[in-house]
Amino acid sequence: MAFVTSEAEEVLYGGAYGGGKSYALRAIAVDYCLRYPGANVALFRRTYRQLEDTHILAIQGEVPRSLATYNQESHTLVFKNGSRIFFRYCEQEDDVYNYDTAEFDMILFDELTGFTYRQYAFLISRCRSTKPWWPGRRIRAATNPGGVGHAWVKSRWIDFLRPYEIRKGPAEEGGMTRQFIPAKVTDNPVLMARDPGYLEALKALPPEEYRARALGDWDVYTGQFFSRWNPSVHVVDPFEIPHDWRRYMGVDFGFAVPHAVIWAARPPDTSSLWIYREQYGAGVAPREQARRAREVTVAAGEKVEFIAMDPSMWAKAKDEHGVPMRSYADIWKEEWTGLTEIVKADNERVAGALLMQELMSWTSSPDGKPIVPPRLFFFRTCENCIRTFPSLQRDEKRPEDIDTQGEDHAYDAVRYLVRTLFQGPVRPAARRYIETPHGYLVIPA
Ligand SMILES: Nc1ncnc2c1ncn2[C@@H]1O[C@H](COP(=O)(O)OP(=O)(O)OP(=O)(O)O)[C@@H](O)[C@H]1O
Ligand SMILES: [Mg+2]
């Protein structure tokens, strides 16, 4: 089958539940170990528990002891021919650094959408070898849609390639050849034979879940925090902001991870908000973040009422003499002197998440036409907001909040602003609104 025999460097086998994806990964690992004596193969899942449940027991049943034995302490399947399969995980974002000196001939990921992009990018750099027989990089991943990494996985494979096509990825993403192989429930002959009613049973799921689970549709998935996200409702073409709308900004700090700055405009007497500009990216120096944001604002001749910022930006680090240094908030205050007020937002996560849900929600008539519009809109130019909002997942342990393992920086910047702006009960949405070719426009009451 295509996944097992693929010659591409980075292959994703993804889609429907139960297609035999995890089984296929183990088959690939075992085949490689037998073919190349002395091979080191790593099989990753996000948590150890998941590894144990899906792979560690299963593989011991699948590989006879005459070929390999499992070492409990090192979580390694050791083959008689010297090959090894390492069962590995990285539950915390930074657990990847446990592998910073590791070297694997082949790396496999199960449930890839459980990983963040940073983790994946780091781990694939550990796939290298100086062994004479090395056939080149083999990175193999299997996954269902959904999970914290849904957005980046979708853009790296599903949006980039047609199914089965092999194409080289961009140089800045490692430049390896990529392939996407769609997984269908019917790929698993064993399941089909043992439980022929399985497909029918899936049809009883709610339509969106059916599409994600049975058909492996990447445009819908469960666990989505903004489950009512709809680009034709929340995303609008940019329009000229009326003079009487007030402008505000929100900031989420980041350096190793992206920082996010958002600009928003609010029509008078409403609790609705249009996010009309964003600044986003990792590796930008703190002062540069503040300066860039100021420069575009000043160049556009805009007056900003206040900037609501990540409260962690008030932390003061100490220099080597124990003298407190300027906080990031101080840096923003310096860069924005005389232009606006800098406000420390609160970080009550659940309250913020509920407010965000409320602002994003909308209702439709049975034919799907919105009858009550949402109160939060995004200009089409705010690409990172539009990309990351639909990918945010519910926190499994605290379902009223988002899972912070996802790419939540744009979300946080908006959240800091709305918590500061809409204190107390949120007022009813604008009383009157009109549908324009650009979506909904609120007419001040
Ligand atoms: N080709 C095969 N031969 C024998 N057994 C198989 C085969 N493919 C899958 N199976 C069995 O079918 C079951 C489901 O397979 P698997 O767990 O790999 O599916 P999956 O696509 O990873 O599912 P999920 O989406 O739930 O993670 C397992 O018990 C597995 O051992
Ligand atoms: Mg699986």
- Of the pLDDT bands very low, low, confident and very high (cuts 50, 70, 90), residue 221 is low
Instruction: Answer whether 188 contacts ligand 1 (Cβ < 6 A).
Output: yes
- pLDDT of 445 reads 38
- Of the pLDDT bands very low, low, confident and very high (cuts 50, 70, 90), residue 286 is very high
Residue 443 has pLDDT above 90, yes or no: no
- pLDDT of 425 reads 56
- Tell me the pLDDT tens digit for each residue of 114-161: 898 889 999 999 999 999 999 999 999 999 887 777 778 988 999 899
Pocket test for ligand 1, best of 1, 5, 23 (most atoms within 8 A of CB): 23
- Of the pLDDT bands very low, low, confident and very high (cuts 50, 70, 90), residue 362 is confident
CA distance 441 to 146: 32
- Tell me the pLDDT tens digit for each residue of 373-421: 889 999 999 999 999 999 898 886 776 789 998 899 999 999 999 999 9
- pLDDT of 155 reads 84
Report H helices in 36-146.
48-51, 57-62, 117-124
CA distance 14 to 227: 22
Burial 382-417 (b: 16+ CB within 10 A, else e): bebbbbbbbbbbbbeeeeebbbebbbbbbbbbbbbb
The CA–CA distances, whole Å, from 362 to 275, 276, 359, 369, 377 equal 17, 20, 8, 10, 11
Instruction: Answer whether 23 contacts ligand 1 (Cβ < 6 A).
Output: yes
Nearest atom within ligand 1 for CA of residue 187: 8
Q: Whose CA is nearest to atom 9 of ligand 1?
A: 20
Residue 278 has pLDDT above 80, yes or no: yes
- Tell me the pLDDT tens digit for each residue of 322-358: 888 889 999 999 999 999 999 999 999 988 988 898 8
Residue 222 has pLDDT above 60, yes or no: no
Angle at 44 between CA 43 and CA 50, to 5 degrees: 110
- Of the pLDDT bands very low, low, confident and very high (cuts 50, 70, 90), residue 235 is very high
Please state the pTM of the whole predicted model.
0.61
265: CA distance to ligand 2 center in Å?
45
- pLDDT of 150 reads 79
CA distance 161 to 138: 18
- pLDDT of 431 reads 47
- Tell me the pLDDT tens digit for each residue of 159-184: 899 999 999 999 989 999 999 999 88
Nearest atom within ligand 1 for CA of residue 54: 17
- Average pLDDT (29-58) is 94
Pocket test for ligand 1, best of 190, 199, 215 (most atoms within 8 A of CB): 190
- Tell me the pLDDT tens digit for each residue of 63-114: 999 999 999 999 999 999 999 999 999 887 788 889 988 999 999 999 998 8
Count Cα neighbours of 65 within 13 Å in the Cβ-side half-sphere: 1
Domains and CATH numbers, the chain: 2-213 (3.40.50.300), 231-444 (3.30.420.280)
CA distance 373 to 366: 15
Under a CB-based contact definition with an 8 Å cutoff, are residues 9 and 136 in contact? yes
Percent above pLDDT 70 for the chain: 90
54: CA distance to ligand 2 center in Å?
7
384: CA distance to ligand 2 center in Å?
30
- Of the pLDDT bands very low, low, confident and very high (cuts 50, 70, 90), residue 424 is low
Q: Whose CA is nearest to atom 15 of ligand 1?
A: 20
Q: Which residue has the higher pLDDT, 432 or 10?
A: 10
Select from 371, 385, 394, 140 the least CA-distant residue to 273. Answer: 385
Query: What residues sit around ligand 2, an ion, with C-beta below 5 angstroms?
Result: 21-22
- pLDDT of 444 reads 42
Tokens of 46: 């996000």
Residue 224 has pLDDT above 90, yes or no: no
Nearest atom within ligand 1 for CA of residue 144: 25
Average pLDDT over the chain, rounded to whole?
88
Residue 365 has pLDDT above 80, yes or no: no
Instruction: Answer whether 19 contacts ligand 1 (Cβ < 6 A).
Output: yes
**3-state class (DSSP) for residue 371:** strand
Which range has the worst mean pLDDT, 86-90, 206-210, 293-297? 206-210
